[in-house]
């Protein structure tokens, strides 16, 4: 895990972020999933970038939902929820309410998906 600045990793982050934005704009959900996974992997070795991984976990969950893969969507929403809660506990927040709206929405999605999955 590198904390020191690395131009190569930062350039990779910028390229991935641009590709990710384009894939989202095009509703290319499979590509969104792949790019988010790559971004999360990059964060593991390039901590200096400070990538907000819970957002990318949430986007993976959303993409799986749009693809109709409810079990995978649920798994990633749960990972995103855990990651947001951990982030709030371990980091200095600008406001006490930071990320609570996201957490609330994810909790509702998880509940909805669990209900859907038990019906089938």
Reported as a single tens digit per residue, the pLDDT across 4-47 is 888 999 999 999 999 999 999 999 999 999 999 999 999 999 99
- How far apart, in whole angstroms, are the C-alpha atoms of residue 61 and residue 20? 15
* Residue that has been written with the tokens 């038990």 in this structure: 118
Confidence of residue 120 (pLDDT cuts 50, 70, 90): low
Instruction: Give the pLDDT score at 107.
Output: 98
Q: What is the pLDDT of residue 37?
A: 98
pLDDT digits (tens, 9 = 90+) for 58-117: 999 999 999 999 999 999 999 999 999 999 999 999 999 999 999 999 999 999 999 999
Whether domain 7-119 has CATH 1.25.40.10: yes
pTM: 0.92
Q: What are the extents of the domains in the chain?
A: 7-119
What distance in Å separates the CA atoms of residue 72 and residue 75, rounded to the nearest whole number? 5
Q: How far is CA 36 from CA 8, 104, 109, 117, in A?
A: 18, 22, 19, 25
């Amino acid at each position: 895990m590198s904390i020191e600045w690395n131009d190569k990793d930062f350039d990779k982050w910028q390229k991935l972020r641009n590709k990710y934005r384009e894939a989202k704009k095009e509703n290319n959900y499979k590509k969104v999933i792949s790019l988010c996974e790559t971004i999360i992997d990059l964060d593991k070795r390039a901590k200096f970038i400070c990538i907000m991984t819970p957002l990318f976990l949430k986007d993976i969950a959303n993409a799986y939902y749009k693809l109709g893969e409810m079990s995978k969507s649920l798994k990633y929403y749960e990972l995103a929820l855990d990651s947001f809660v951990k982030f709030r506990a371990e980091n200095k927040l600008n406001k006490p309410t930071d990320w609570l709206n996201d957490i609330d929405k994810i909790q509702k999605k998880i509940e909805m998906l669990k209900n859907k999955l038990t019906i089938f």
